[in-house]
Structure 1
Amino acid sequence: MSSPRGAKRHHPVVEAHQLRRASDLQLRLADGITQFAGSMMFVYLHAVWFAVWMLFVEKSPWPTLTLVVSLEAIFLSTFVMIGQNRAAAFQQAKADHDFIESELELKTNTELTRAIHAMTTELHSRLTPEKSDQ
């Protein structure tokens, strides 16, 4: 993926990951929910919502509030696990890519070292006069 001049380039696995996530509505939705649930705005809204509910909406809010908070915790923990699985898959893909790249570089360096050795040996044999037996 090419980037505009001056824009920061990312690792190829990062770019592929971002393209895949941007093209999938469910993943974008999960990312949005996870991003919001991990913000202080989420905490503030819940504090206000629970206070209003307990003070003005229900006389005995505890059974319903317990149910709502439990369901919310189940769903939010699922989003956390989705995020962890996604991060683990991303890290594995990046590690695989890096391994392949480092193996290719090692192979190239080995071939260059062998070529340099062969040229050095050839150059040495041409420039160093052979000792003749006298």
Structure 2
Amino acid sequence: MDPHDTPDEAKPATSTAPAAEGLAPALARNIEAIVERRKRDAKAASLHEQAAAAISKFAGSMIFVYIHLALVSAWIVVNVGILPIIEPWDRSLVILAMVASVEAIFLSTFVLMNQNRMAAEDDARADLDLQVSLLNEHETTRLIRLVEAIAKRLDVRTEDRELQELKRDVTPEAVLDKIVEADQAGRG
């Protein structure tokens, strides 16, 4: 084994699916991993979470709108006396208003439950993005130091003031503190 090769356990897993046309194999593998993760997370969701997601999805569809349009229209037509065949049961439409209010309460609860689940997923993705960005920043800093050492060994001059700044590792805590500080100064 070449000493510069990566050990097997450090190599990324290869995809079993063929790479999509025009995509690099690594990108195709990453897309496949994301899709598999979403499927696994969907299977792991509790029955309550699955129900809330299904109800929210249906309530956000045009079929839901059409069904409600038909039901509410029929209710109003019958109860204002346009169809004398059926006896009105809600002349003032108070029952319709009550049913719509109760439905709105439950629908908003299901939507909020679904949004909470989605917010938790977004938080996890944001944490992953931050970790990848920090790793990328660290690797870039190491590469800059390595290239500078190579340039020094080859007697190549680098008189870039920004290079000294770029060689410094970024500490996330310091960046977050500065963001909070700037945010508080903007509010005050």
TM-score norm. by structure 1 comes to: 0.74
Q: Could you tell me how far 1:89 is from its partner in structure 2?
A: 2.0
| 1:42 corresponds to | 64
CA distance in 2, matches of 1:99, 1:11: 21
Extract unaligned runs of 5+ from structure 2.
Answer: 1-12, 21-27, 79-85, 157-188
Contact 1:17/1:90 (<8 A) preserved:
no
Q: Could you tell me how far 1:83 is from its partner in structure 2?
A: 2.8
Cα offsets for 1:67-121 (capped at 9, x unmatched): 2111100011112222332332222221111111011011111111111211221
Determine whether 1:82 maps to 2:113. yes
Cα offsets for 1:22-65 (capped at 9, x unmatched): 33232222221111101111111112222334414742262322
Q: What does residue range 39-78 of structure 1 map to in structure 2 within 5 Å?
A: 39-54=61-76, 55=78, 56=86, 58-60=88-90, 62-78=93-109
- Paired AA for residue 90 in structure 1: E
Higher percent of residues as helix:
1
Q: Could you tell me how far 1:17 is from its partner in structure 2?
A: 4.4
Determine whether 1:116 maps to 2:127. no
The alignment yields a C-alpha RMSD, in angstroms, of 2.9
Q: Answer 1 or 2: higher relative contact order, Cα 8 Å, separation at least 6.
A: 1
Secondary structure of 1:4's aligned partner? coil
- Paired AA for residue 59 in structure 1: W
Q: Could you tell me how far 1:19 is from its partner in structure 2?
A: 2.1
Identity of aligned residues (%): 36
- Which stretch shifts more, 70-79 or 24-33? 24-33
Extract unaligned runs of 5+ from structure 1.
Answer: 126-134
| 1:97 corresponds to | 128
2:40 to 15, 19, 25: 19
